[in-house]
Amino acid sequence: MEKISQSVVKKDHAAKMEGRSIYVADYNTAKDGRKILTGKILHSKTARAKVLSVSVPDLPEGYFYVDARDIPGDNNVNIVLDDMPVFCRDTVEYIGEAIGMVVGPDAKEVDRILSGINVELEELEPVLDLRKSTEAFFNYEYGHGDLQKAFAEADKVFDEEFETGYQEQAYLETQGMMAEPEDLDRMFVHGSMQCCYYVHGAVKRVLGTDNIHILQDVTGGGFGGKEAFPSILATEVAVAARKANAPVRCVFDRREDMEYTSKRHPSICRYKAAVKDGKVTALDIDVIFNAGAYSTLSAVVLQRGLIAAPGIYNVPNIHVTGRALKTNTSPCGAYRGFGAPQTFFAIELLMNHIAQDLGVEPLAFKEAHLVKQGDPTSTCGEYHFPVPVQDMINEIDAVCDYRKKRKEYAKAQEGRFRRGIGMSMYFHGAGFTGSGERDLIKAVTRLHKYPDGKVEILASNGEIGQGLRTTFCKIVSHELNIPFDDVFFEHPDTARVPDSGPTVASRSLMTVGELLRRASVQLKEIWKDGEEQEVEERYKEPDFLIPFHLDKFEGDAYPTYAWGVNAVELEVDTLTGVAKVLGAYGNFDVGTPMDYNIVMGQMEGGLLQGIGYSSIEKMDYDNKGRIRNNSYSDYLIPTTKDVPNLKCLLHVEKYPYGPYGAKGAGELPLVGVPGAYVEAMEQALGKGHRLNHAPFTAEDTLFEIMKEVGK
């Protein structure tokens, strides 16, 4: 193991272990000692309606009602498009939308006032059925080759539809944000978030002033869920704090969080494939994502999903279309994998089904189509670096005996319990899609050296559990060859740190980590003992890249790829449909691990989230547009007892442009799990069952079994 990969005790270990870390809900007072007012949101209870009037009961002294009229700046949450308001405009578009906020010193009194508010509405017909939605926030199309010819010459054509459901991030700490008016009209906003500069941009616009600063508090998990939503909540508390001229905090309860905050987009993917001489020659793909009521991050989520749509297979002719459609439901957003899990699920199952139809073992069929270094990507970019997937398949086979079990379970299985095993393979495009890093983010980092030789990292990326405070410091201490304890990285405050971009897209370590390494090289060169020194480093696009054009979806969508292979082994109880995960295996190439334990923790955690997404994590809304699974007892995530046999391997294919060879890591382990899970389920069921959706629950399983006996 390389020195940089050797694990250390994490910078934030002691504080978190001892329960001393202060999360946003833990502050007793504001920074200046003032009492914190409690803010609670008046949520829409209707999926779509015109708001005619809001009558607020007489407010006791010290209590405020806040809504769009109190916004000093612009009533738009700064995300991608200008459609999401801070507080609703003339209409409400989903259950949960913020109409206003009640603020005051006593939480119970705030609740009482909230329940006394009367909202007069004119109900409108909501759009709830994704298939019937006609309003596309985003509509993309790309392709290459000659689709018509390929389909005309095909030996066989396949046409299948695949569906995936919501996934809720279910971070243990709910969304929470606090705003504190400071002297000289400055607004200080802090809380649980991934991207302090996103929040900064949003608050600035809503307050109409740059006289603000944003601090990331200790954040209890994100997984994408704290990429965009914190911008919404932050603007709401900031407006309230301005009106009350007092510190205001809003911490969601679990039900609010599960029901009203962003989740993974449900999807319907239709795949048509042309097959000739045992090879897939063309793919015609149409993807729709349920964006919810506002566009938020759906553009970028959809882009990533579409780019991944053909999987990691060489198919000469492809055509991909995709739309993010509006429904009157909670806006969907970022979640680990960011659009790709949906399409990887579809392509993996499609490949299985084609192989089975051709009488070939799916793994062999996939292996015959694998991309390799030098091949073009779906967007006519290039796989510039080695593709280690074949080796990774062999390594995972050695650990779980995949090929042998696959054969064994293919035999007819009788009796109450049936077993199956499945495998999926995929990538995660490391970093932002396309030229976002170069054109939009333009990351800047600094290293500040103090006279005592201690070095502080100044970057806007946030520790959300993934270990960034540790890995960043490891990179700097390694490059400067100074003790790990002499390097520190605090939670970012936009008053102090430059904008090195958001904590998203598995970019922080690969992209910002490399900037820090280069900054360390600079600092080393000019290092003078006893002096205060600072160096700065800015993002430069690697020169090997084929420029990406979003209008055509052409070029290198990603500089490099992290690779993943999963195997899942199941045993199904045919009486109840309940599946037991006998083993969940992952082999992951994220380049050089910046810390073995930290990377392993990411891989294991992501893999388990993937098992949840595939099986028990089911969320849906009713015919009013209300999400029914809004608590930890209704939306189930895995416990310690659900996948006791979970094993991850690391395969290292270094990326020369990442720090010491590191690539994006965080999202990868979740991305492809449903493909392996549902394939295992298909094999366990046997008898020609073809499955096409995830999560695949016990209920789904039993209904599938019931088809066998024609019940």
Partner 1 sequence: MVNYAPKTLQEALKLRQETQSVPYAGGTDLMVENRKDVSYLFINRVAELQQVLEDEAYIRIGSGVTFTQALENKLVPELMKEAVSKIAAPAIRNAGTFGGNLGNGSAKADSVLIEYVMDAKIRLLSVNGERIVDVDRFYKGRRDLDLRDDELIAEILIPKQKIEKYAYQKVGGRNALAISRISFAGIVDTQDGKIKRIAAAFGAVADTVLRYKEIEKTMLGKTVEEAKELRETYIKAYMDNMVLTRGRVSAEYRKAVCENLLRDFLELI
Partner 2 sequence: MNFYLNGKPVSHEGDPAARLLDVLRDDFDCKSVKCGCKEGECGACAVLIDDVLYNSCCVAMGSIEEAHVLTLEGFRETKQFAALSKAFGELSAVQCGFCIPGMVMASHALLLKNPHPTTDEIREGLSGNLCRCTGYNAIVNAVENAAKEGDGLW
Instruction: Please give the Cα distance from 403 to 352 (Å, whole number).
Output: 15
623 binds partner 1 (CB under 8 A): no
Q: How many residues does the chain have?
A: 711
Closest distance to partner 1 from the beta carbon of 575 (Å): 4
Enter the DSSP assignment of 490. P
Nearer to partner 1, 217 or 704 (CB): 704
Nearer to partner 1, 467 or 674 (CB): 674
Chain contacts with partner 2 (rule: CB under 8 A): 7, 9-10, 12-23, 25-26, 28, 169-174, 218-223, 253-254, 464-467, 595, 597-598, 600-601, 603-609, 631-633, 637, 639-641, 643-644, 646
Q: Are strands 487-488 and 455-458 parallel, antiparallel or unpaired?
A: parallel
Nearer to partner 2, 56 or 619 (CB): 619
The helix (H) or strand (E) run that includes residue 138 is strand 136-144
Closest distance to partner 2 from the beta carbon of 223 (Å): 7
Count other C-beta atoms under 10 Å from residue 350's C-beta: 25
CA 693, 315, 392, 307 dihedral sign is negative
Closest distance to partner 1 from the beta carbon of 638 (Å): 7
Closest distance to partner 2 from the beta carbon of 471 (Å): 11
Q: Indicate the burial class of 652 (C-beta count within 10 angstroms; 0-12, 13-18, 19 or more).
A: middle
Token pair, residue 641, equals: 């007892």
Closest distance to partner 2 from the beta carbon of 224 (Å): 12
Q: Which does 598 bind (CB under 5 to 8 A by kind): partner 2, partner 1, none?
A: partner 2
CA 346, 624, 611, 604 dihedral sign is positive
From the list 231, 197, 189, the residue with the least C-alpha distance to 444 is: 197
Closest distance to partner 2 from the beta carbon of 248 (Å): 18
Nearer to partner 2, 305 or 610 (CB): 610
Instruction: Please give the Cα distance from 106 to 354 (Å, whole number).
Output: 62
Closest distance to partner 2 from the beta carbon of 593 (Å): 11
224 near 338, Cβ under 8 Å?
Answer: yes
Closest distance to partner 2 from the beta carbon of 710 (Å): 39
Instruction: Please give the Cα distance from 380 to 319 (Å, whole number).
Output: 12
From the list 692, 656, 480, the residue with the least C-alpha distance to 559 is: 656
Count the site residues for partner 1 by CB under 8 A: 22
**What Rg value do the Cα atoms of the chain yield, rounded?**
26
Q: Cis bond leading into 695, ω under 30°?
A: yes
Nearer to partner 1, 257 or 617 (CB): 617
Instruction: Please give the Cα distance from 431 to 3 (Å, whole number).
Output: 25
Closest distance to partner 1 from the beta carbon of 611 (Å): 11
Instruction: Please give the Cα distance from 370 to 367 (Å, whole number).
Output: 5
Q: Which does 495 bind (CB under 5 to 8 A by kind): partner 1, partner 2, none?
A: none
Q: Are strands 37-43 and 248-251 parallel, antiparallel or unpaired?
A: parallel
Nearer to partner 2, 10 or 406 (CB): 10
From the list 502, 480, 448, the residue with the least C-alpha distance to 659 is: 480
Q: Which does 440 bind (CB under 5 to 8 A by kind): partner 1, partner 2, none?
A: none
345 near 339, Cβ under 8 Å?
Answer: no
Bridge partners of 269, per DSSP, are 162, 287
Nearer to partner 2, 352 or 466 (CB): 466
Owner of token pair 């960043």: 472
Closest distance to partner 1 from the beta carbon of 607 (Å): 16
Nearer to partner 1, 357 or 634 (CB): 634
Closest distance to partner 1 from the beta carbon of 616 (Å): 5
Q: Which does 18 bind (CB under 5 to 8 A by kind): partner 1, partner 2, none?
A: partner 2
Q: Which does 646 bind (CB under 5 to 8 A by kind): partner 2, partner 1, none?
A: partner 2
Q: Which does 321 bind (CB under 5 to 8 A by kind): partner 2, partner 1, none?
A: none
Window 537-576: residues binding partner 1 (CB under 8 A)? 574-576
Q: Which does 467 bind (CB under 5 to 8 A by kind): partner 2, partner 1, none?
A: partner 2
What's 423-490 look like in SS3? EEEEEEECCCCCCHHHHHHCCEEEEEECCCCCEEEECCECCCCCCHHHHHHHHHHHHHCCCHHHEECC
Count other C-beta atoms under 10 Å from residue 678's C-beta: 29
Q: Which does 219 bind (CB under 5 to 8 A by kind): partner 1, partner 2, none?
A: partner 2
Q: Which does 245 bind (CB under 5 to 8 A by kind): partner 1, partner 2, none?
A: none
Q: Which does 399 bind (CB under 5 to 8 A by kind): partner 2, partner 1, none?
A: none
Helix intervals (H) in 147-195: 147-153
Window 281-310: residues binding partner 1 (CB under 8 A)? none
The residue within the footprint of partner 1, chosen from 416, 538, 552, 707 (CB under 8 A), is: 416
Q: Which does 148 bind (CB under 5 to 8 A by kind): partner 2, partner 1, none?
A: none
Q: Which does 531 bind (CB under 5 to 8 A by kind): partner 2, partner 1, none?
A: none
Options 65-73, 368-376, 450-458, 699-707: segment touching partner 1 (CB under 8 A): 699-707
Instruction: Please give the Cα distance from 352 to 356 (Å, whole number).
Output: 6
Instruction: Please give the Cα distance from 216 to 426 (Å, whole number).
Output: 33
413 near 517, Cβ under 8 Å?
Answer: no
Window 626-665: residues binding partner 1 (CB under 8 A)? 632-634, 636, 638-642
578 binds partner 1 (CB under 8 A): yes
Q: Which does 706 bind (CB under 5 to 8 A by kind): partner 2, partner 1, none?
A: partner 1
Nearer to partner 1, 193 or 673 (CB): 673
Nearer to partner 1, 373 or 576 (CB): 576
Nearer to partner 2, 271 or 613 (CB): 613
Options 46-54, 81-89, 647-655, 697-705: segment touching partner 1 (CB under 8 A): 697-705
Q: Please tell me whether residue 41 adopts helix, strand or coil conformation.
A: strand
Measured in whole angstroms, how far is the alpha carbon of residue 508 from the centre of its chain?
A: 14
Count other C-beta atoms under 10 Å from residue 357's C-beta: 12
Count other C-beta atoms under 10 Å from residue 656's C-beta: 12
703 binds partner 1 (CB under 8 A): yes
Instruction: Please give the Cα distance from 652 to 165 (Å, whole number).
Output: 33
From the list 559, 569, 588, the residue with the least C-alpha distance to 389 is: 588
577 binds partner 1 (CB under 8 A): yes
Instruction: Please give the Cα distance from 491 to 493 (Å, whole number).
Output: 7
Nearer to partner 1, 485 or 634 (CB): 634
Q: Which does 189 bind (CB under 5 to 8 A by kind): partner 1, partner 2, none?
A: none
Binding site for partner 1 (CB under 8 A): 416, 574-578, 616, 632-634, 636, 638-642, 698-699, 702-703, 706, 711
